[in-house]
């Protein structure tokens, strides 16, 4: 008996959101999407019962891409979903699962396995946050609920259960959006979190946080600029209080991603039976989308997560990591930590205690990790989501289309697709990784990180395209058959 036969009774019984039996009207899709979004914001504002004040966010700078909120029911955000996807993609890429996603039975097993992994990852992520130390999610000394009084261990257990339930909720919220709404829940939560941080970055009334408020203080003289030549005035204007560099970076990322989404190679198609019916298959520069960047950053987040947990439990060898105020300042965990802001690599400014060569080594590791990791995970993403040359060729063949001048054969179409898709996938993945590091180096408004901003812009652009497609199919019902929506 193989693992599939042994696990099938469990995986096929995993709770699932029922798929719609027919076409879901666009207004109803918007209603479901809006309702899940409201529920998401509601849950991020529910503070964990039994949690004391204080505590450090273990996800820290990764919060923009992992969504959720520190100290709330959605403490783990989409982290377990992303981690489970990484594990499945690596296992699937190595062909260790033996699952054929074209087989309906294997599809059910794959989806069940993914949910089971997410649930396991939620428990494994939540447990260290609650039980590893009081510096992360500090529990109250005791909790009184009616006639019941819980000690510290009981309070920690209650906090763990709340986080675990929140992680399971966000899993099924994502599934509701994917089946009944517009886009995906993971993308929706990322956009919601990043948008909230961007608005706060522009409108916050805290000095150093709000762009407009900072400039009001600069113009009224409450913030002194200092000498621009030979002093720190230029740094103050561009990087710290003035945030001019962050504003320009934010605007440039918006422009570059929108432009990159429009750059494509269009392969001409014609219908084999309907004379005059022509179309084009677009192979975009960012063919795999920006979503594989979540997997790369999540892998880095998990490495830093393990370092923080290990440092809280024991004294690490200096070669592994040296920590100060919860942040790595030396060793392996320092060099593998991403560059978050200009202050992390401008070694000539006050506050950077590392030598120039250490900072440059960390920058080189981050750049290599993002560029190579972006390309690798983009390839995995394309192959596991049915966007590869073979799957694309089958889709074109099944739709009755063909490439003019070539025989109507799946193998022929696949060879044509192999000329473009693998190369564009690698180039696009590496480009997105490069943009993410560059944006982090220069900083962004609201400190959303370059990866978070890239994801938000790309996901929003794709949501716009999906909404336009939905509206077109609502106006012309026959189009639903062409797109396979019926």
- Measured between its terminal Cα atoms, the distance across the chain in Å is 38
Region 142-153: mean pLDDT is 86
Whether the pLDDT of residue 107 is over 70: the answer is yes
Residue of 303, 295, 314 lying closest to 337 (CA atoms): 303
Q: Name the token pair of 116.
A: 């089971």
The helix or strand, by DSSP H or E, that contains position 402, with its residue range, turns out to be strand 401-402
Q: Helices then strands (H, E): number in the chain?
A: 18, 7
What integer is the mean pLDDT of 52-74? 81
Report yes or no: 348 and 354 within 8 Å, Cβ to Cβ: no
CATH architecture of the domain covering 3-14+24-181: Orthogonal Bundle (1.10)
Q: Which fold has domain 257-458?
A: Preprotein translocase SecY subunit (1.10.3370)
- Residue 447, Ramachandran bin (φ over 0: left; ψ between -120 and 50: alpha; else beta): left
Dihedral of CA atoms 446, 450, 456, 462 in degrees, nearest 10, equals 160
Residue 486 has pLDDT above 80, yes or no: no
As a whole-number percent, the residues of the chain with pLDDT over 70 amount to: 93
Q: Could you check whether 3-14+24-181 and 257-458 share the same CATH topology?
A: yes
The strand pair at 401-402 and 264-271 is best described as antiparallel
* Residue 142 zone, left/alpha/beta (φ > 0; ψ -120 to 50; rest): beta
pLDDT of residue 482: 47
The shares of helix, strand and coil residues in the chain, as percent rounded to the nearest 5, are: 60, 5, 35
Give how far the C-alpha of residue 20 lies from the chain's centroid of Cα atoms, to the nearest Å: 27
Domain ranges across the chain = 3-14+24-181, 257-458
Q: Is the pLDDT of residue 214 over 80?
A: yes
Name the residue with higher pLDDT: 350 or 112.
112
133 pLDDT higher than 90: no
Summarize pLDDT for 298-310 with one digit per residue, the tens. 888 888 888 888 8
Q: Looking at 203-292, which runs of residues are DSSP E strands?
A: 264-271, 278-284
């Amino acid at each position: 008996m193989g693992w599939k036969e042994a696990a099938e009774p469990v995986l096929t019984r995993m709770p699932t959101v029922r798929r719609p039996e027919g076409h879901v009207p666009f207004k109803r899709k918007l209603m479901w999407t809006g309702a899940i979004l409201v529920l998401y914001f509601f849950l991020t504002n529910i503070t964990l019962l039994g949690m004391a004040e204080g505590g450090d966010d273990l996800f820290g700078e990764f919060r923009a891409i992992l969504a959720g909120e520190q100290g709330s029911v959605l403490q783990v955000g989409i982290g377990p979903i992303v981690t489970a996807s990484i594990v499945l993609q690596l296992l699937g890429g190595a062909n260790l699962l033996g699952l054929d996603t074209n087989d309906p039975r294997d599809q059910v097993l794959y989806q069940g396995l993914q949910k089971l992994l997410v649930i396991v990852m939620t428990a494994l992520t939540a447990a260290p946050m609650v039980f590893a130390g009081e510096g992360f999610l500090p529990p109250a000394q005791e909790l009184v609920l009616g006639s019941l009084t819980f000690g510290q261990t009981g309070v920690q257990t209650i906090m763990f259960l709340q986080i675990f339930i929140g992680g399971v909720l966000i899993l099924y919220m994502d599934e509701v959006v994917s089946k009944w709404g517009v886009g995906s829940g993971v993308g929706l939560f990322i956009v919601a979190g990043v948008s909230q941080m961007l608005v706060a970055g522009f409108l916050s009334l805290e000095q150093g946080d709000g762009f407009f408020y900072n400039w009001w203080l600069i113009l009224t003289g409450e913030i002194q600029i200092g000498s621009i030549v030979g002093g720190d005035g230029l740094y103050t204007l561009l990087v710290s209080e003035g945030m001019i560099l962050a504003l320009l970076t934010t605007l440039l990322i918006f422009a570059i991603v929108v432009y990159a989404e429009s750059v494509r190679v269009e392969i001409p198609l014609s219908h084999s039976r309907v004379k005059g019916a022509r179309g084009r298959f677009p192979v975009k520069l960012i063919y795999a989308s920006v979503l594989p960047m979540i997997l790369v950053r999540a892998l880095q987040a998990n490495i830093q997560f393990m370092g923080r947990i290990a440092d809280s439990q024991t004294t690490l060898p200096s070669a592994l990591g040296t920590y100060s105020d919860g942040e790595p300042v030396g060793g392996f965990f320092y060099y593998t930590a991403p560059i978050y802001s200009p202050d992390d690599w401008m070694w000539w400014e006050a506050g950077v205690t590392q030598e120039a060569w250490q900072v440059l080594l960390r920058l080189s590791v981050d750049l290599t990790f993002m560029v190579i990791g972006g390309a690798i995970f983009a390839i995995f993403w394309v192959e596991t989501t049915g966007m590869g040359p073979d799957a694309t060729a089958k889709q074109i063949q099944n739709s009755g289309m063909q490439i003019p001048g070539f025989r109507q054969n799946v193998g022929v179409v696949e060879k044509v697709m192999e000329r473009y898709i693998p190369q564009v996938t690698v180039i696009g993945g590496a480009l997105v990784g490069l943009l993410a590091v560059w944006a982090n180096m220069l900083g962004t408004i609201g400190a959303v990180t370059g990866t978070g901003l890239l994801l938000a812009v790309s996901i929003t652009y794709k949501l716009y395209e999906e909404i336009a497609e939905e509206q077109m199919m609502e106006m012309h019902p026959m189009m639903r058959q062409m797109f396979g929506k019926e």
